[in-house]
Amino acid sequence: MKALVYHGPGKKAWEERPKPQIKDDEDAIVKVVKTTICGTDLHILKGDVRDVEDGRVLGHEGIGIIEKVGSGVRNFKKGDKVLISCITSDGSCEFCKRGMYSHCEHGGWILGHLIDGTQAEYVRIPYADTSLYRIPEEINEDASVMLSDVFPTAFECGVLNGQIKPGDTVGIVGAGPIGLAALLTAKFYSPARIIVMDVDEGRLSVARELGATDTLISTGADIADRVMELTGKKGVDVAIEAVGTPITFRICESIIAPGGHIANIGVFGEPVDLHMEKLWAQNITLTTRLVDTVTTPMLLKSVLSGALHPESLVTHHFRLDDIMKAYDTYSHAREEKALKVVLENR
């Protein structure tokens, strides 16, 4: 089969690899139907994620058809259409039993990281019963690919941890796919205002189409002042950090209202300052989280009912064997006006 293989920082190739086989009884082999590229894959390619080895097949998102199951798999059989969760869960360890699949003792984020991933014609999924989800036939395929990672991440780490309530003012820093998915799922809770901030006017115009009440182009340090002006000097009840840099974290700290929640989603590569001299008396809550994907079944139902349209973040389609071109487009997201690219293996 063909797969997108990482060969050390800056190097990747679309090359021939052996088709994966069942290794453990709980495994399933899935024929990938659609997959996508994540910002995390670009971090891996830069060399930022050091435990990814040369020779690793990348990708942790996708949908597919079950090709084969191990003798211990009870919930799935050959031919089932499934959503592949970015988080592998054995369902039985202490963390899984607490619903914290992200920290599963035998899983967590391993796909396209510690084991071969989904940017391939076939993928081996360990603990298939608890790491795959059946996809109802009537669900839009592009929508379901967005539920592997993007939507549970934005919803769990941003919206649920932020505890958005009806009438709240929400600030979202970063209008990439994750920030926009936070915007779409924040609307479940009817906030009064959603203020989206980004450096890219193209992404802000998408944010307005998707329901942002206000958008602010971030051109410098004064963006926090503009949020305070917009909110009558009060700030936002919930600040969602969807970038992962000291500057964007600083914005969240500067715009949070008394009693507010700062919900971090961004992947940080360096330390940030926590301004306790200003925040100590502000009754704020700061949360961090790696996505657990515990809300995947709920999100599937929301898509099925028509309440959520994750496919609105898909801007580009490629054939899976054009994946090198897809990476090129995704790496130049601003010029290409790219949010999510979907790769199809048919």
Extract the tokens encoding 311.
Answer: 């496919």
Q: How far apart are CA 314 and CA 335, in angstroms?
A: 16
CB closer to Zn ion, 90 vs 168: 90
Nearest distance from residue 144's CB to Zn ion, in Å? Answer: 24
Rama region for 293: left / alpha / beta (φ>0; ψ in -120 to 50; rest)? left
CB closer to Zn ion, 96 vs 238: 96
Nearest distance from residue 262's CB to Zn ion, in Å? Answer: 28
Q: Which of residues 235-254 bind Zn ion (CB under 5 A)?
A: none
For residue 128, state whether it binds Zn ion (rule: CB under 5 A).
no
Burial 285-321 (b: 16+ CB within 10 A, else e): ebbebbbbbbbbeebbebbeeeebebbbbbbbebebe
Three-class SS state of 61: coil
Start-to-end Cα distance in the chain: 13
Q: Which of residues 46-105 bind Zn ion (CB under 5 A)?
A: 90, 93, 96, 104
CB closer to Zn ion, 94 vs 229: 94
C-alpha distances (whole Å) from 223 to each of 79, 100, 235 are 51, 35, 12
CB closer to Zn ion, 28 vs 96: 96
Q: How far apart are CA 132 and CA 109, in angstroms?
A: 14
186 with 170: CB under 8 angstroms? yes
For residue 154, state whether it binds Zn ion (rule: CB under 5 A).
no
Count, residues near Zn ion per rule CB under 5 A: 4
Nearest distance from residue 312's CB to Zn ion, in Å? Answer: 33
Q: How far apart are CA 194 and CA 184, in angstroms?
A: 10
CB closer to Zn ion, 96 vs 145: 96
CB closer to Zn ion, 218 vs 293: 293
Nearest distance from residue 100's CB to Zn ion, in Å? Answer: 8
Q: Which of residues 94-113 bind Zn ion (CB under 5 A)?
A: 96, 104
Nearest distance from residue 96's CB to Zn ion, in Å? Answer: 3
Residues of this chain that bind Zn ion (CB under 5 A): 90, 93, 96, 104
